[in-house]
Structure 1
Amino acid sequence: MTTPRDLLIIAMDADVRHSPEPGDLSLALAGAELIDLLGAQAITLDGDHLVPGDRPPPVDRLLDDAASSLVRRAPYESLGDWLWRRGRGLPEAYLAALEAEGQLTRSRRTSWMPFQTGRTVPADAPAHRSAASRWSSDEPVLAALAAAVGIREEPTGDSADVSDDAVAAVLAAVNDALQELDAERRRRAIDEAAADNIRRGE
């Protein structure tokens, strides 16, 4: 399995209180792709720019798509630009891939809501078990991404220790992009509140 797939499965397993915002998850999945591409030496970092490498990406269709979409001419693409561009629609793409592979199922409806069909959840399949094992081991990268989107508390101890500088740079870029997105949400909320006040004549 890959880091973005594991992150999505963990997000689907999270209770409603810790379900990430779609925009947050989009950015984190794009960052997770970069981390896997770094691990496969399909990319390297030159400062905060992504330089395509010579090695092929891991055998995964969506990671192949990610690698093929890299800007291959100097000055290359910055981490931040990649996250915003690549993240668009990424949760839906990974959901579709998991569904096509039979990795998802519908939860059973509750007896007191007979007409509720349930929600889509990870099936009891190897992908789910692999993600759960990585999650329970408090693996640093997955823990950091989960914390960034609010699935869990901030990682502490060994789970906060990401020793690879390039991976740490990607995680920092994800956090910066999430803060930017949160600031934009706040600005929109203020603007909408002001517009509501004007409409009410306040």
Structure 2
Amino acid sequence: MTTAKDLFIITMDPRPERSVGQGDLSLALAGAELIDLIDAGAVTVDEDRIVPVEASTPQDGLLGEAAALLTREPPHERIEDWLWRRGRDLAAAYQAALEEDGELTRKRSGRLSFGSKRVEPVDTPARRAAAERWEEREPVLAALASAVGVEGGRPENAEEAENAEEAEDTKNAEDAEDQRGLDDDAVTAVVTAVHDAVMELEAVRQRRTIENSAFANLWRGP
């Protein structure tokens, strides 16, 4: 499968302790698509701009859709702008595609027949390949997962869990600046842009929370 589909699956299996936001995941999926297009020779990166190259259409439907949406006339699109444009509702598109391919299934979360449904990965060769790539900490997949808060391994005790939580913000910031194992400048630029976009989205969320709280306090009065 593609890096984007592998990323979607590992955000669900194993499930991270902190759930991944759909907006964060959509941005990371757009970055994953771009990295696969770079690897396929379909695009190059000139500083922070995406330059399409004539290449065969990717066999994967969503990746082919991404290639078709590239801006082919100069001035070419900036990586950051691509992430926001392509990333809109992209997580939902990948969920639908993976369900259609039989890689995801819906299961009821409660004992009652009318309980809400949750989506889970199916035990398929593609799912196992994604898990193996994750277990090996393949640098690109690990870096993109880190951007949305999915880290490798699980703390074995409460003390380790507390230390991991305290180090999380610092690690995410370091990952944005130092992508160890990424030996391609273009890929590094994409991963860094994903980290920056996710941080920007979180800042927007926090600002809206503060504004909504202030508005609610205004209506409640003294």
TM-score (norm 1): 0.91
Counterpart of 1:165 in structure 2 is: 185
1:132 aligns with: 131
1:184 Cα deviation after fit: 0.7
Secondary structure of residue in 1 paired with 2:51: strand
CA-based RMSD of the aligned residues comes to 2.0
Cα distance in 2 between the residues matched to 1:33 and 1:89: 14
Unaligned runs of 5+ in 1: none
CA distance in 2 between counterparts of 1:57 and 1:3 reads 17
Q: Report the CA distance shift for 1:56/1:162 in structure 2 as closer, same or farther (over 3 A).
A: same
Q: 1:18 Cα deviation (Å)?
A: 2.4
- 1:194 aligns to what? 214
Partner of 2:20: 20
Give the share of equivalent positions with the same residue, in percent.
53
Equivalent pair of 2:24/2:148 in contact (CA under 8 Å): yes
Query: Could you say which residue in structure 1 is the equivalent of 2:159?
Result: none
Contact 2:11 / 2:20 at 8 angstroms: preserved in 1?
yes
State the AA in 1 paired with 2:84: W
Residue 120 (structure 1) shift: 1.3
**2:104 equivalent to 1:104:** yes
| Deviations, residues 116-139 of structure 1 (Å, cap 9, x unaligned) | 465211101111111101011110
Q: State the Cα deviation string for residues 95-147 of structure 1 (Å, max 9, x = none).
A: 1111111111234756xx34446521110111111110101111001111111
Q: What are the Cα deviations for residues 49-77 of structure 1, in whole angstroms up to 9, with x where unaligned? A: 11101122431010000000000100110
Q: Please point out which of 169, 178, 187 is paired with 2:198.
A: 178
User: Is the CA contact 1:146–1:152 (under 8 Å) kept in the aligned structure 2?
Assistant: yes
Task: Look up the SS of the partner of 2:50 in the other structure.
Answer: strand
Q: 3-state SS of the aligned residue for 2:11?
A: helix
For residue 104 of structure 1, what is the amino acid of its counterpart? L
1:143 equivalent to 2:163? Answer no
| Structure-2 residue corresponding to 1:48 | 48
Question: 2:168 maps to which residue?
Answer: none
- The alignment partner of 1:75 has SS state of coil
Distance of 1:105 and 1:175 partners within structure 2 = 29
User: d(CA) in 1 for partners of 2:122 and 2:97?
Assistant: 13
Q: Secondary structure at the match of 2:131?
A: helix
Aligned AA (1:169):
A
* Amino acid of the structure 2 residue aligned with 1:132: A
- Contact residue 109 and residue 116 of structure 2 kept, 8 A: yes
Aligned partners of 1:10 and 1:131 also within 8 Å = yes
Contact 1:18 1:152 in 2 (8 A): no
Q: Which amino acid aligns with 1:200?
A: R
Which residue is equivalent to 1:11? Answer: 11
TM-score by length of 2: 0.83
Please give the secondary structure, in 2, of the residue aligned with 1:18. Answer: coil
Report the secondary structure of 1:169's partner residue.
helix
User: Is the contact made by 1:9 and 1:122 (CA closer than 8 Å) also made in structure 2?
Assistant: yes
